Structure 1
Amino acid sequence: MNYLAIVGTNSEVSTNRMLLQFMQEHFKAAAQLELYEIKDLPAFYEAEDDQVPQEVEALSAKILQADGVIIATPEYDHAIPAVLKSALEWISYTSQALTDKPVLIVGASHGALGSSRAQAHLRQILDSPELAARIMPSSEFLLGKSQAAFNASGTLIYEDKLAELDEIFREFVLFTEIITKLLSEKAVIKKDKKFAWQTQKA
């Protein structure tokens, strides 16, 4: 599996980035994770079709090429960061590259709740008609007290959370396989479908 792992913040120092970096190394035998930084994307504005920023086109291409997407979000004022909302607005307004794309949401925060409200907010956004991502159900990974969660080498040291992350990632790989198979079969059915007027004899 090839996953695009989006760092959902423009902060230079982030435990959400550390979480994705750990996942990239920890799960390298099962999947390839490419980290993507949204901090260099311009703020969203209504661009003409031929004036979409190159950075946005590059992000869309990466999403389309990936088997699935992992988004790590912090929580700012009970919601996702504005920079992440802006990135999703670009995708919604232009390529709609997240449509039917398997998505796993994870999040880390300095507090005890581990970005739970931001993750709920993100699920609502990804479920909107213009994004329509395939979000893995019942799969919250909430890393609270994240400032103490990693050692000097970037390893997640909370054993209970590591076991939880292992299980969620295993399920996400399976979820990706199921969604990929579902969409391929759906495409075949759609291709072979005939309307009544096409099958009637004159």
Structure 2
Amino acid sequence: MKFIGIVGTNAVKSTNRQLLQFMQKQFSQRAEIEICEIKGLPAFNQPEDRVAPEKIKTLSDKIEAADGVIIATPEYDHTVPAPLKSVLEWLSYTSRPFIDKPVMIVGASYGALGSSRAQAHLRQILDAPELKARVMPSEEFLLGHSLQAFDDNGNLVYEDKVTELEECFDQFLLFVDITNQLVKDHRFQANQNKKFTWEKATEGGND
């Protein structure tokens, strides 16, 4: 399988990037994971023609072609970082590659909670009508105290967390298989989601 791993921050130093790099190496025999950065992507500005900048389109094409997506998000002020939200806004407003795409959410934080609130918010965001990703349920990988979590070779040093991550990843592989079987013969709803606009949804209603 081929997955896209999105680093959910534009920070130069990020333990979420380290987490994805560890997953890329740890699971190389089971899947190919391409790590994508959101550094340098423009802030969302709602273009009138609904056409995304080239760098956003490149990311969109990679998501569209992938079997699944892994998003690693830190937690800033109890939610996802603004650059990650901006990228999701670009994608939801233009090409909508996340529709029916299997998604695994992971997260690392310097404190003990491991981005739990940001992950919960990200699930809500990905369920929006313009995104409609298929987020893996009942599984979340929370890496707390992440500054001490990796050695000089990028290996995750918490053995219990390595075991937990391996189990989560195995579940994701199964989830991707099941999800892709579920949606392959039900393209009508996906096409409807691609066409969804709030303008039409609110016609005749109250603002």
Task: Check 1:62–1:52 CA distance in 2 against 1; reply closer, same or farther (3 A cut).
Answer: same
Post-superposition offset of 1:50: 6.8
Q: Quote the residue 1:58 is aligned against.
A: 58
Q: Quote the residue 1:127 is aligned against.
A: 127
- 3-state SS of paired residue (1:172): helix
Residue type at the aligned position of 1:48: E
Is the 2:7–2:71 Cα contact (8 Å) retained in structure 1?
yes
TM-score for both structures, normalised by structure 2: 0.89
Residue type at the aligned position of 1:149: A
Residue deviations 1:20-79, cap 9 Å, x none? 000000000000000000112100001133752101111110000000000000000000
Residue type at the aligned position of 2:156: L
Task: Check 1:152–1:179 CA distance in 2 against 1; reply closer, same or farther (3 A cut).
Answer: same
Q: How does 1:4-23 map to 2 (within 5 A)?
A: 4-23=4-23
Q: Quote the residue 1:80 is aligned against.
A: 80
Task: Check 1:187–1:128 CA distance in 2 against 1; reply closer, same or farther (3 A cut).
Answer: closer
Q: Quote the residue 1:69 is aligned against.
A: 69
Q: Quote the residue 2:199 is aligned against.
A: none
Q: How does 1:18-37 map to 2 (within 5 A)?
A: 18-37=18-37
Q: Quote the residue 1:173 is aligned against.
A: 173
| 1:91 paired to 2:107 | no
- 3-state SS of paired residue (2:185): helix
Structure 1 runs, 4 residues or longer, greater than 3 Å off:
none
Q: Quote the residue 1:115 is aligned against.
A: 115
Q: How does 1:159-170 map to 2 (within 5 A)?
A: 159-170=159-170
| 1:141 paired to 2:141 | yes
- 3-state SS of paired residue (1:17): helix
Residue deviations 1:98-132, cap 9 Å, x none? 00000000000000000000000100100111100
Unaligned runs of 5+ residues in structure 2 are 191-207
Post-superposition offset of 1:185: 3.2
- 3-state SS of paired residue (2:186): helix
Residue type at the aligned position of 1:103: V
Post-superposition offset of 1:150: 0.5
TM-score for both structures, normalised by structure 1: 0.91
Bigger-Rg structure (1/2)? 1
Is the 2:98–2:132 Cα contact (8 Å) retained in structure 1?
yes
Unaligned runs of 5+ residues in structure 1 are 191-202
- 3-state SS of paired residue (2:25): helix
Q: Quote the residue 1:46 is aligned against.
A: 46
Residue deviations 1:163-202, cap 9 Å, x none? 00000000000000001111123349x9xxxxxxxxxxxx
- 3-state SS of paired residue (1:112): coil
In structure 1, C-alpha distance between the alignment counterparts of 2:3 and 2:169, rounded to whole Å: 11
How many correspondences in the alignment?
A: 189
Is the 2:75–2:117 Cα contact (8 Å) retained in structure 1?
yes
